[in-house]
Amino acid sequence: MYPVQCVLQVQRTVRWGPLASVSWLLLRTCRAHSSHPSAACPGPERQKNGEQKDFSSRLATGPTFQHFLRNTSAPQEKPSLPELEDPPPYLTVEELLGRQRKVYLETYGCQMNVNDTEIAWSILQKSGYLRTSNLQEADVVLLVTCSIREKAEQTIWNRLHQLKALKTKRPRSRVPLRVGILGCMAERLKEEILNREKIVDLLAGPDAYRDLPRLLAVAESGQQAANVLLSLDETYADVMPVQTSPSATSAFVSIMRGCDNMCSYCIVPFTRGRERSRPVASILEEVRKLSDQGLKEVTLLGQNVNSFRDNSEVQFNNAASTNLSRGFSANYKSKQGGLRFSHLLDQVSRIDPEMRIRFTSPHPKDFPDEVLQLIRERDNICKQIHLPAQSGSSRVLAAMRRGYSREAYLELVHHIRDIIPGVSLSSDFIAGFCGETEEDHLQTVSLLRDVQYNVGFLFAYSMRQKTRAYHRLKDDVPEEVKLRRLEELINVFREEASKTNKTFVGCTQLVLVEGLSKRSSTELCGRNDGNLKVVFPDVEMEDVTNPELTGRAQPGDYVLVKITSASSQTLRGHGLCRTTLKDSSAHR
């Protein structure tokens, strides 16, 4: 066995008082197990071995339990650069700096992971790392991973096999390639990854990205390093994500992290931890900056965006109870006070009337009327709601612990459509959950037909360890049945969506232009208010705010498009004129 230094870390937070979370922080050495051919090699590596010895002796006098406690007592106050001025005793400031090493980041999974990649990069950039989009050029490869389904994890294991070849073939003249696993898979599998794939040098869970410079410094010296601590209050509020595409018209703004819902099939509460919201003021500041940069669309992002609750300001922590959607219940004790989603949405939508506001992903239980009314009233809040149903059978919904029945869900759909006529609805569904019968499946088919969603995300059930379903239920729907049901759901969804989308033919839609269509360089592509893709010819057109100004629409322009045809996923039409959001709403 190689020496392993494990520190059982008790994380206490100032704000939350009592014992907050317990997890492992691992620092381990892997002398004999280094997969790099230079583990016992001459030349520059001798120097490396010297460094390693030096490191080992420093490690011996290194971090104490007190040190870790001190470093984690108030995560909100941990700034990124001052950390470098106060390195842990076993690392120097120089070792914490990137030394111009090139980092290649690869993102898997959901939009939260895209945002996490930007956060991780923002932290590394401040530490002196450079970014590369060329894998061959990289000194560090970081995979931001997803654990939601078995298939997502298998993709990462396959990728690690490819990286192993890259790592072992690396010329000795170059610094050894370091490979890191970030995000949900690091959190779920912890040291199993280090043991199974010897090429992995570091692990960082979703709440440990501030620790990346230290983890990389440890990895640089040939040690494996891991931080998979979950936090009760890490929201990266002060880390401005670095936008990867400077010409983008829209951005995602993270407003909360984690999930307390504990749906019985879902791994997310275990990999991303408890729900916590970012302070309203820091969200508004980020949106203002994005507006100043000329961005035209912001999507508020979180595992449960509409459960948002900013408790950071004491004066708002009253005892006001939480309004849930009618007929819905939560799996946790009712929470009270704080600034809620309707307040945030109101404030964000006031920043720039020309900026579209969207949000994802919400839970159907948190749609009180004040949120729905606000969506109806504000021209720049898109009339688009993701309403993940997961199943159309009340029996399966109960087994999933979703907190609503089919009837309550349908009532909510009707209520939303009454308040926001023409609203675009989308949903997630899981085919073949534990105990799902053919009758249950047909109930889901009929829900798809009843609601007529515009967009759908459909998945075959994948049993995840740790979840309630794993402990209490049986994954008893055979794989081929799951896949057959999934295919049926996809076909029904497509049929219904193309019917629904055909109702747009002959109508005029306000489209925010994103750029040239991927399929044709003579067409532009953008999205309507309901987030449907709209394609139209790239020709000169008038600008309604200045009729003398004819020209081609650019990314970030609003264009009125007359729809001429529709499929289940795309609308097509021709541009009438360039306009503004305000102008087009005035003529609605």
- Of 94 and 150, nearer to ligand 5AD (C-beta) is 150
Contact between 199 and ligand 5AD per CB under 6 A = no
- Of 250 and 427, nearer to ligand 5AD (C-beta) is 427
**Contacting residue, 266, 298, 425, 561, with ligand SF4 by CB under 6 A:** 266
Nearest to 360 by CA among 312, 417, 419, 298: 298
| Residue 363's binding partner out of ligand SF4, ligand 5AD, none, with CB under 5 to 8 Å set by partner kind | ligand SF4
Is the distance from CB of 429 to CB of 391 less than 8 angstroms? yes
| Residue 461's binding partner out of ligand SF4, ligand 5AD, none, with CB under 5 to 8 Å set by partner kind | ligand 5AD
| CA distance from start to end of the chain | 71
| Residue 269's binding partner out of ligand 5AD, ligand SF4, none, with CB under 5 to 8 Å set by partner kind | ligand SF4
Nearest to 347 by CA among 357, 360, 336, 335: 357
Print burial letters for 110-132: b (CB count within 10 Å at least 16), e (below 16): bebbbbbbbbbbbbbebbebbeb
What's the min distance (Å) between Cβ of 528 and ligand SF4? 26
Residues 126-185 contacting ligand 5AD, CB under 6 A: 148-149
- 422, burial (CB in 10 Å: exposed 0-12, middle 13-18, buried 19+): exposed
Paired strand residues for 16? none
| Residue 138's binding partner out of ligand SF4, ligand 5AD, none, with CB under 5 to 8 Å set by partner kind | none
Residues 298-357 contacting ligand SF4, CB under 6 A: 303-304
Contact between 431 and ligand SF4 per CB under 6 A = no
Residues 256-285 contacting ligand 5AD, CB under 6 A: 265-266
| Residue 304's binding partner out of ligand 5AD, ligand SF4, none, with CB under 5 to 8 Å set by partner kind | ligand SF4
What's the min distance (Å) between Cβ of 464 and ligand 5AD? 5
| CB neighbour list of residue 164: distance below 8 Å, 6 or more residues apart | 35, 197, 199
Q: Which helix (H) or strand (E) holds 430?
A: strand 424-431
Between CA 268 and CA 406 the distance in angstroms is 24
Phi/psi for 504 (5° steps) reads -80, -20
Print burial letters for 218-238: b (CB count within 10 Å at least 16), e (below 16): bbbbbbbbbbbbbbbbbbbbe
Contact between 387 and ligand SF4 per CB under 6 A = no
**Number of H helices and number of E strands within the chain?**
19, 25
Contact between 264 and ligand SF4 per CB under 6 A = no
Q: Which helix (H) or strand (E) holds 542?
A: strand 540-543
Would you state the structure tokens that stand for residue 345, as one six-digit string? Answer: 């949405």
| CB neighbour list of residue 126: distance below 8 Å, 6 or more residues apart | 80, 81
| Residue 148's binding partner out of ligand SF4, ligand 5AD, none, with CB under 5 to 8 Å set by partner kind | ligand 5AD
Segment interacting with ligand SF4 (CB under 6 A) among 74-82, 212-220, 266-274, 545-553 = 266-274
| CB neighbour list of residue 119: distance below 8 Å, 6 or more residues apart | 209, 236, 239, 241, 254
Number of residues that bind ligand 5AD (CB under 6 A): 12
Contact between 62 and ligand 5AD per CB under 6 A = no
What's the min distance (Å) between Cβ of 363 and ligand SF4? 5
| CB neighbour list of residue 115: distance below 8 Å, 6 or more residues apart | 241, 252, 254, 301
- Of 265 and 270, nearer to ligand 5AD (C-beta) is 265
Is the distance from CB of 302 to CB of 256 less than 8 angstroms? yes
How many CB atoms are located within 10 Å of the residue 309 CB?
A: 22
Contact between 430 and ligand 5AD per CB under 6 A = yes
What's the min distance (Å) between Cβ of 132 and ligand SF4? 33
Contact between 390 and ligand 5AD per CB under 6 A = yes
What's the min distance (Å) between Cβ of 120 and ligand SF4? 21
**Contacting residue, 337, 388, 435, 537, with ligand 5AD by CB under 6 A:** 388
Segment interacting with ligand SF4 (CB under 6 A) among 45-53, 133-141, 210-218, 255-263 = 255-263
What's the min distance (Å) between Cβ of 254 and ligand SF4? 15
- Of 271 and 509, nearer to ligand 5AD (C-beta) is 271
The binding site for ligand SF4 (CB under 6 A) comprises 259, 261-263, 266, 268-269, 303-304, 363
The binding site for ligand 5AD (CB under 6 A) comprises 148-149, 265-266, 388, 390, 428, 430, 459, 461-462, 464
